Amino acid sequence: MRIVSVIFMYHPFYGGAEVQAHLLARTLQSQGHEVTVLTMHFGETAASETLDGIPIVRVPRQVVQRGNFAGIVRAMLAAFLELRRLGPVDVVHMHGAPFLLIPILAYKKLYGTPVVLKMISGGVTARSTILMTSRLSWFNRFKRRLLKNVDVFVCLNDELADEVKGLVPNARCLRIPNGVDSSYWSCPESARTYKASIGVGEYKTAIYVGRLVPEKGVDMLLKVWKAVVECFPKAKLFIVGDGPLASEMRDVAAQTGIAGSITFAGARKDFREILFAMDAFLLFSPNEGMSNAMLEAMAAGVPIICNDSPGTSGVIQHMVNGIRITPGQVSEAAASICRIFEDPNLATGLAERARANVRSTFDISVTARQYEQLFHQLIRGVATLS
């Protein structure tokens, strides 16, 4: 198959959607399919390049501000012309990328190519993908009519599928999970070896991985950690990521007396050496689609403590392969972390079942097979979905 994978940002930018797009493209390519990535041009990135054998084509990007209709049209036209240059393909797979929906659907009209749109998150993100902007209301209505031509919406959980159907009547939705390379994230040695290598010795350790932004629940993270340190004064928290709240979080940590127990490790593409030394993985996002970092931690055998949300309930079974806590409940979250620290048998059991779960259900090879099956069905015109 010839597949065009469309995403707004790509290498060298590595958020969750970008990581998933690249993993899937690389896996499909290894299975003999021809995958091209179409993305927008940012900064000093090249107009075209090849990464891991995957051609990347970057569309010239106009400065598009909310309500700047002329800028929107110019950028969308550039995307459409680049698609025409690529010629007919078998499937177009979009990873979010609301800005590029209209040129993609125009391309579908020209060539009859099936279009699959992956919804990367719910709530505001889902609505912005459908509507694009809140100011150009007539443009939004036009776009929603066009979205009826999307062949399949891939959703990470049932709530997101319901949300899409509420925004786009008669939408065909299919649930396909994110995937990770479970072999890459499998810990090859004991945690003690990695604890020594990063200087935490016998300390109890926890990790948060993600952007430092309000929607990731990082304010709760610090409140929870303050309560944990009261029970485990020598415990260490590693925060892997960066964002606009980084400076404020450092200030709060200092003001609350927990700065000495926290390491701000910054954004890292590969954080395995830290992850393998951890006793717990923390995720308190109120609205998470399906966290790559959580799946990576599961593959590494690190016990999960996360908010109970649509994005986690389809992955974490409470007290089976992780612990789900009531969103916003600081004391409950802190008690769960302390329980993991205190009970190695519980921690080991949760971790082993999580690792097995990732290998069977959330490995990228499993995800790629589901996409491959969907793409073949769409090409043959026999896809049967809700």
Domains 2-179+364-380 and 191-362 are alike in CATH topology: yes
Structure tokens at 141: 């209505």
For residue 189, with 0-12 CB atoms within 10 Å meaning exposed, 13-18 middle and 19 or more buried, which class applies?
exposed
* Mean of per-residue pLDDT scores for the chain: 89
The span from the CA of 191 to the CA of 146, in Å, is 52
Q: Give me the pLDDT at residue 385, please.
A: 60
Please give the CATH number for the structural domain made up of 2-179+364-380: 3.40.50.2000
Asked whether 20 and 95 are in contact (CB, 8 A), the reply is: yes
Q: Give me the pLDDT at residue 202, please.
A: 87
Asked whether 244 and 213 are in contact (CB, 8 A), the reply is: yes
Q: Give me the pLDDT at residue 251, please.
A: 98
Q: Give me Rg for the CA atoms of the chain.
A: 22
Class level of CATH domain 191-362? alpha beta
DSSP state letters, 227-249: HHHHH-TT-EEEEE---TTHHHH
The span from the CA of 246 to the CA of 238, in Å, is 13
**0.85 exceeded by the pTM?**
yes
Q: Give me the pLDDT at residue 134, please.
A: 45
Give me the residue spans of the domains in the chain.
2-179+364-380, 191-362
Q: Give me the pLDDT at residue 132, please.
A: 43
CB atoms within 10 A of CB 216: 23
Q: Give me the pLDDT at residue 44, please.
A: 78
| pLDDT tens-digit series, residues 86-108 | 889 999 999 986 778 889 998 99
Q: Mark the ranges of the chain whose per-residue pLDDT is less than 50.
A: 123-128, 131-134, 386
